[in-house]
Amino acid sequence: MALIPYLFFDGRCEEAIEFYKQALGAEVQMLMRFKDSPDRNMCAPGNEDKVMHALVRIDGMPVMMSDGRAQMQPKFEGFSLSLDAKDEADAERLYAALGQGGQAQLPLTETFFAKRFGMVADRFGVGWMLIAGPKNP
């Protein structure tokens, strides 16, 4: 069994994919547009080129994405995605990249449990937690 996040960008999915390719090195494994569906009733007029379903990999881990109803008001509440950085420098790079056009929620800093930990919401409102290395006791 696998647990895979599925994010609905409400019309901004393609923009999000491009952002994650730049910020995180995401790789698109599959992308299907609404116009590719055999059921034409699944697509509201004007949304034919919107993303019906995409599978991207971020550092090898799958994340599914869609434009959903494409009303241009994505809402991400009640969860965050967590990234384990290779080291402190990687955490700093990821935090800065995800924060472009987003909002810092908790500055990246040393904590009692990690060399670096911070929280940021990206430009789409997706919450990210970044952690670099457990602190040695």
What was the pLDDT predicted at 137?
54
List average pLDDT for each run of 10 residues in the chain, which is 137 residues long: 95 96 98 87 80 96 92 86 96 97 96 95 97 77
Provide the residue type at 87 as one letter.
D
Where b means 16+ CB within 10 Å and e means fewer, 27-49 reads eeeebebbeeeeeeeebeeebee
What was the pLDDT predicted at 135?
66
Domains in the chain, ordered, with CATH?
6-66 (3.10.180.10), 81-134 (3.30.720.110)
- Count of all residues that appear for the chain in the document: 137
What was the pLDDT predicted at 21?
98
Query: In the 3-class helix/strand/coil scheme, how is 95-114 assigned residue by residue?
Result: HHHHHCCCEEEEEEECCCCE
**114-135 pLDDT per residue, tens:** 999 999 999 999 999 999 987 6
